[in-house]
Amino acid sequence: MKNEQENSKQEYSFITEKIKERPKSKKKIAIEITSFVAAAIVFGMIASIVMAWLTPKLSKVWEEETDPEVITIPRDDTDLEAVFTMTPEPIPTITLEPVVNVVEKALEPKDYISLYSQMYQVAETAKNSLVTVVSVSNNVDWLNNPYENQGQASGIVVADNGKEYLILTDKSVVENAEEIGVIFANGKEVSAVQKKQDGNTGLAMLAVEHQGLTEEEKSQIQIVTLGNSKLLHLGTPVLAVGSPLGNNDSVLNGNVTSLKSLSDTEDVRYPLVKTDMPGSLSGNGVLLNLDGEVVGIFTRELSAFSENGTVVAFGISELKGIIERLSNNLGIAYLGVRCREVTEEDKEVYHMPRGVGIINVAMDSPAMNSGIQNGDIIVGMEGKEIETLRDFENIINGCEPEQLLTITAMRSGTDRYVEVRFDVTLGVMQ
């Protein structure tokens, strides 16, 4: 059998066959190319849809992983003398020009119109830094029927931490709100969340995420410029913008009438900028100088205590530390006392020690809980001597909530003052 197979191979060994494939027709080639292109298109469409769906989510994850930038607000010079005693620049050589005869001309109505138009243009330019804050909260009436309560106030965009726009507004409007919305100058309305607040000044910080805004909308938002209220003087022209008359988008113009009053706040008293502009008890907003810089902030609570119904604001220079802390979502330390300096007359007549006298201790405050009483005179804090209100306020401003603060005071005894010490855990005023 084996031999027969070998003989068969030899017999047909001269025959060789190569199978060749039939050439593809043009129609088949066209079909294959069309199928390939169609598959590529479908794949591209699917990839585009997946990327469009996935990109925002990945961006959100990346943004969440990225820490927001720390906001830093430069402080104004606390010593006004330093501002006016700086080394003067060399006086340039004066070249006398030909004398020009000046002809006095009485102001005409069109001149006043031009002047006021320029002033109101300052307020118009500042609108991109102003927002309307809308809050919604649910309540029940005395018959236990539910109803919705809405509040509205002005706010200003004070910072951008890379992830959020930070907006300073009136605490009374957003307190206990279940929903908070912000309407920008271009009409765009987005939701906002409340961060920290300061019950002493009545200010609260809101945050609006970048993700809710388009690039064009973000380009229209302007961070407000904080000026220097220490450079104000009597008669300085100012504008009140926001809602000084109780309704949004209202503007007033006037002059500074007083700079010597202080706020009746606990722990730290703030200089007040009083004006001759008649405002509303429900008004809030900011004071602008003619350069468009914010030189004061007024809240509804502050407006309600105005003696003659005029606009009264906190000077912006003393609020910059608070704005910086609130922007970085940090609370404001709270002790809960009102103080005054011991005067030379107090020392001579009543033999009081040098320091800061307590004139009121707030109920349920950290100060009261630690045993501090009215009439105590604080002479030391954290091992440092306290002689003036500025000494006291500087230490309080540098403290953190929940910090343990050591206070040394003198308390009046039967025939002399005796030293008492307190360890106070600072809180946060809501």
Residue 19 contacts by C-beta under 8 Å, 6 or more apart in sequence? none
Burial of residue 416 (number of CB atoms within 10 Å: 0-12, 13-18, 19+) = exposed
Is 233 within the bounds of a domain? yes
Rounded CA-CA distance 246/232 in Å is 25
Is residue 403's pLDDT more than 50? yes
The top-scoring range by mean pLDDT among 17-26, 70-79, 242-251 is 242-251
Is residue 196's pLDDT more than 60? yes
The pLDDT, as a whole number, for residue 83 is: 40
DSSP of 142-205: TT--EEEEEEEEEEEEEEE-SSEEEEEEEHHHHTT-SEEEEE-TTS-EEE-EEEEEETTTTEEE
* Distance of alpha carbon 230 from the chain centroid: 20
Q: State whether 338 and 269 are in the same domain.
A: no
pLDDT tens digits, residue range 127-140? 999 999 999 987 76
Q: State whether 173 and 261 are in the same domain.
A: no
Q: State whether 314 and 360 are in the same domain.
A: no
Segment 417-430 mean pLDDT:
93
Q: State whether 421 and 367 are in the same domain.
A: yes
Is 1 within the bounds of a domain? no
Indicate the residue among 308, 327, 346 that finishes a domain: 327
Indicate the residue among 219, 253, 272 that finishes a domain: 219
Residue 221 phi/psi, 5-degree rounding, is: -90, 130
pLDDT tens digits, residue range 274-300? 999 999 988 999 999 999 999 999 998
Residue of 207 and 307 predicted with greater confidence: 207
Rounded CA-CA distance 361/356 in Å is 13
pLDDT tens digits, residue range 212-260? 899 999 999 999 999 999 999 999 999 999 999 988 888 999 999 999 9
Indicate the residue among 312, 327, 342 that finishes a domain: 327
Q: State whether 356 and 307 are in the same domain.
A: no
The pLDDT, as a whole number, for residue 248 is: 83
CA-atom Rg of the chain in angstroms: 36
Is 193 within the bounds of a domain? yes
Q: State whether 211 and 250 are in the same domain.
A: no
The pLDDT, as a whole number, for residue 233 is: 95
Segment 69-88 mean pLDDT:
64
Q: State whether 323 and 251 are in the same domain.
A: yes
Domains of the chain: total:
3
Segment 389-410 mean pLDDT:
95
Q: State whether 284 and 203 are in the same domain.
A: no
Rounded CA-CA distance 172/154 in Å is 12
Range of the domain at 161: 127-219
Segment 299-320 mean pLDDT:
90
Is residue 120's pLDDT more than 50? yes
CB 206 within 8 A of CB 155: yes
Q: Any idea what the CATH number is for the domain that residue 305 is in?
A: 2.40.10.10
Is residue 387's pLDDT more than 90? yes
Is residue 21's pLDDT more than 90? no
Is residue 418's pLDDT more than 80? yes
Is 20 within the bounds of a domain? no
The pLDDT, as a whole number, for residue 413 is: 86
Weakest-pLDDT range from 160-169, 244-253, 323-332: 244-253
Q: State whether 350 and 318 are in the same domain.
A: no
Q: Any idea what the CATH number is for the domain that residue 379 is in?
A: 2.30.42.10
CB 298 within 8 A of CB 275: no
Q: State whether 297 and 258 are in the same domain.
A: yes
Weakest-pLDDT range from 86-95, 102-111, 276-285, 416-425: 86-95
CB 260 within 8 A of CB 226: no
Burial of residue 421 (number of CB atoms within 10 Å: 0-12, 13-18, 19+) = exposed
DSSP of 380-404: EETTEE--SHHHHHHHHHT--TT-E
Rounded CA-CA distance 177/4 in Å is 103
Predicted TM-score (pTM) of this structure: 0.77
Q: Where are the alpha helices (DSSP H) in 336-383?
A: 344-349, 366-370
Segment 200-220 mean pLDDT:
94
